[in-house]
Structure 1
């Protein structure tokens, strides 16, 4: 069986007008031809459909939403399924989740990774396809969208739960595909934690692991004969001020699953929402250039020291912005002086160590998040 997986789709900016005007051919160009050559195709639906009155939830970052027209543009391209486990599914609370799942149900599109509660969101999707049964598991890192026992949202990344899901899927399906939404935004490499986790999923029985979320593409590796893709990039996500850079490039990955050997794969690189709000597949020259840059990322991923070094550089970038939240400075002027290094930290080391302990230790972190959430 041949399965196509693509990254984040979110109607935004110029693409909203094209979707509302049914200009689907201009949006997709040759993408439907690629989709048609596969038994099953999946993309990440990066925002909820909101048809009824709903207030945006309080969170960091933008609250995204779209209309049911987004379903039409997805179906026009020929995609069969959307992943819902991402950091925007719950942007408009339970109303957004309910409207989204209702619209997907009417359209006939499959979905995985989201639901009216945690039990529904964590279900494995099984599909009978040419060549056998495929089990699809979808989860995301914790960021304002996670489902609970009583509220809707996304299936959270939880290694124990995902391993149980992989083992269940392995007993019911011929092949298991794990799709994760996570990583550092605008950073083109996985963290050592991501690499360790995704490799563990392969060890536990997954036949392929695919990640998206970072708004840029990353590299891949073959681990124990199975592919792990660490970032696909945006599929369709127009954003003013984010043009002419890594935001605008990505790739779809085609995986062929066969019972007689390990999966094989091919990639389809493209440019999206740059000069025009559309997806344009790379020609031979652009593809060769893209694959060269992609290989550079793959080489770093395979080298633990280089990967650790690049991650450390990323962690240091914008460190004062992160640390400013722990400072007592308040007001625009005082905060600006601190971030420019003019004012020193007023937090003593004993408090810094306590903060570090609360964040690093899982048990302390559980309590800290609980207290903060309840205080808010």
Structure 2
């Protein structure tokens, strides 16, 4: 049996934000009107990016925003492609009341997501309901029509909490659950109920929340299934991993049987841990956004993004290897990072991973490769 038959390779990334400025450069776009405290027109984000990096010839193609990432995906052919989609796909004119930031992409621009061929996406985050329940309904309908499985949100609690089920070769499956927490900016009234649409929102990181997840996993898991949890948690900036986050991640692996934790919310990559042989990505960072040219937090290098390609055992879910590809956002498009930037990212991941028992090296092909104790 070959290594490829014994293992599965996934593509994971952090926040894909195709609304606002990104939506404006695509062939079809929503009204640029915004309801933010300082910026009232989404085209201002496009202008900011152009002042920073140069002109963007518009409208761009559906493949444009992914840039060099598409070649990497074609070359590696992962068994599962899963992203965190932080955008409502809708033309709804009604923003969620009292919320300061609203992301939406026109449904006719769904081909820009299809270009990367994601199998599924997490919607359990703090932007999917930016345009209220009508926006959520449109998002679910558009994604399903594009054969992209939405996870972590639904028209009721049953839909929001059920996993995405993705087949793997050899008759195995990977179940992907997605949830979110208040710490990432998700209001309590966004939680789905028996009669109300919304997201799968955990109230906290308590034993009760762990039991909730554990019960849902055991109810649908078959022998041989792998389980991934995609979780939107924590703040936007900073490398600190709260003790309760780490304890919860460990308990998910030890008690709930989760094989891989796909964390996101932070605008930059955070530390990585391997616990009992299982991968924990505490924060994958943004992957695609319209923040280019916005000042502040430059030390975190939010312009640098990572493609994560974990390879895990199909039988045990244990991590075999983690290769990462560093990208840089320029002119609202992903480009291969320079050698200098790859070195900076590897050094940063090693520094922040020291207390987690991980470090990062660069191999002969330029991949960032995780090492662990």
TM-score past 0.5 threshold: yes
Matches within 5 A, 1:113-132: 113-131=152-170, 132=172
Q: Which has the higher contact order (CA 8 A, sep 6+)?
A: 2
For the residues of structure 2 that align with 1:24 and 1:5, how far apart are their CA atoms? 20
Structure 1 segments, 4+ long, off by >4 Å, are: 242-245
Alignment pair present for 1:31 and 2:85? no
Name the counterpart of 1:40: 80
Query: Is the 2:328–2:337 contact (alpha carbons within 8 Å) kept by the matching residues of 1?
Result: no
Q: What are the Cα deviations for residues 33-69 of structure 1, in whole angstroms up to 9, with x where unaligned?
A: 222321110111102112244342323x412222114
d(CA) in 1 for partners of 2:98, 2:224: 39
In the alignment, does 2:196 pair up with 1:156? Answer: no
Partner deviation per Cα, 1:88-120 (whole Å, 9 max, x = no partner)? 111222101101011112111111111011111
Equivalent in the alignment of 2:369: none
Q: How big is the shift at 1:286?
A: 2.8
1:253 paired to 2:308: yes
Rg bigger for which structure?
1
Output the TM-score relative to the length of structure 2. Answer: 0.75
SS of corresponding position for 1:33: helix
Asked whether 1:267 is paired with 2:318, we answer: no
Note if contact 1:8-1:234 (Cα within 8 Å) is conserved in structure 2: yes
2:335 aligned counterpart, secondary structure:
strand
Comparing both structures, which one devotes a greater share of its residues to strand? Answer: 2
Contact kept in structure 2, 1:83 and 1:113, CA below 8 Å: yes
- 1:35, 1:78 within 8 Å by CA — same for their partners in 2? no
When residues 56 and 232 of structure 1 are mapped into structure 2, their CA distance, relative to the original with a 3 A threshold, is: same
- Secondary structure of the structure 2 residue equivalent to 1:77: coil
Q: Identify the match of residue 232 of structure 1 among 276, 279, 284.
A: 284
Shift of 1:299: 1.1
- Alignment of 1:62 onto 2:101: yes
The aligned residue for residue 138 of structure 2 is 99
Give yes or no for the alignment of 1:5 onto 2:60: no
Return the alpha-carbon distance in structure 2 between the equivalents of residues 51 and 272 of structure 1.
30
Is there any run of 5+ residues in structure 1 with no aligned partner, and where? 304-376
Q: 1:151 to 1:218 in 2, by over 3 A?
A: same
**So what's the TM-score if we normalise by structure 1?**
0.74
- Displacement after TM superposition at 1:163 (Å): 1.4
Higher helix share: 1
The 5-angstrom pairing of residues 167-178 of structure 1 reads 167-171=218-222, 173-178=224-229
